[in-house]
Structure 1
Amino acid sequence: MPEPVLYRWPANAALGRAVPKTKFYDHGNVPTAVRGKFVDDIQRITWAYKLADDTIRLSGTARVPEIQVFTIEAKGADISDEVLLAIDKTVHFPIIFEVAGSDRVRMVAAQKTLDGKTPRVATYFTTGWQPADAPRRPLPTALHLPNLYEVLLASLLPAPTRVGETVLEATGRLDRARKLQREVAALEKKLRAEPQLNRKIELRKQLREREVVLRELTHPRTSI
Structure 2
Amino acid sequence: MIDASLTVETAETIPVLYRWPANAAFGRTVPKTKFYEHGNVRTALREKFVGDIQRITWAYKLADDTIRLRGTTAVPELQIFTLETKGEDVSRDVLTAIDRSVHFPIIFEVASNDRLRMVAAQKTLDAKVPKIGPYFTTDWQPPDAPRRPLPTALDLPSLYETILASLLPVTMRVGETVTQATERLGRARKLEREIAALNKKLRTEPQLNRKIELRKQIKERTAVLTELINLTPNNKE
TM-score over 0.5 for the pair: yes
The question of whether the paired residues in 1 share the 8 Å contact of 2:35 and 2:97 is answered with yes
Residue of 81, 89, 93 corresponding to 1:82: 93
Between the aligned partners of 2:218 and 2:26, the Cα distance in structure 1 is 51
- Secondary structure (helix, strand or coil) at the match of 2:172 reads coil
- Deviation of the 1:195 alpha carbon: 2.9
Q: What is the identity, as a one-letter code, of the residue corresponding to 1:216? A: E
Residue of 64, 79, 84 corresponding to 1:68: 79
Cross-structure match for 1:176: 187
Aligned length: 222
Between the aligned partners of 2:83 and 2:219, the Cα distance in structure 1 is 42
Unaligned ranges ≥5, structure 1: none
Residue of 94, 105, 125 corresponding to 2:116: 105
The question of whether the paired residues in 2 share the 8 Å contact of 1:16 and 1:46 is answered with yes
1:30 aligns with 2:30: no
Residue of 102, 117, 125 corresponding to 2:136: 125
Between the aligned partners of 1:221 and 1:186, the Cα distance in structure 2 is 28
Between the aligned partners of 2:33 and 2:146, the Cα distance in structure 1 is 33
- Deviation of the 1:59 alpha carbon: 0.8
1:208 aligns with 2:219: yes
Greater CA deviation, 147-156 or 72-81?
Answer: 72-81
- Could you give the per-residue CA deviations for residues 96-132 of structure 1, whole angstroms, max 9, x where no partner exists? 0111101111111111100110000111111111111
Residue of 173, 176, 179 corresponding to 1:162: 173
- Deviation of the 1:178 alpha carbon: 1.4
Between the aligned partners of 1:205 and 1:29, the Cα distance in structure 2 is 49
- Secondary structure (helix, strand or coil) at the match of 2:214 reads helix
Between the aligned partners of 1:3 and 1:202, the Cα distance in structure 2 is 40
Between the aligned partners of 2:148 and 2:182, the Cα distance in structure 1 is 24
C-alpha RMSD of matched pairs (Å): 1.3
Residue of 6, 22, 33 corresponding to 1:11: 22
Identity %: 73
The question of whether the paired residues in 1 share the 8 Å contact of 2:13 and 2:139 is answered with no
- Could you give the per-residue CA deviations for residues 30-72 of structure 1, whole angstroms, max 9, x where no partner exists? 3332222111111111111100011111110000000000111
Between the aligned partners of 2:42 and 2:175, the Cα distance in structure 1 is 38
The question of whether the paired residues in 1 share the 8 Å contact of 2:52 and 2:89 is answered with yes
Cross-structure match for 1:152: 163
- Secondary structure (helix, strand or coil) at the match of 2:37 reads helix
- Deviation of the 1:142 alpha carbon: 0.6
- Deviation of the 1:133 alpha carbon: 1.2
Please identify runs of 4+ aligned residues in structure 1 that moved more than 3 A: none
Residue of 42, 46, 50 corresponding to 1:39: 50
The question of whether the paired residues in 2 share the 8 Å contact of 1:28 and 1:86 is answered with no
Between the aligned partners of 1:110 and 1:24, the Cα distance in structure 2 is 18
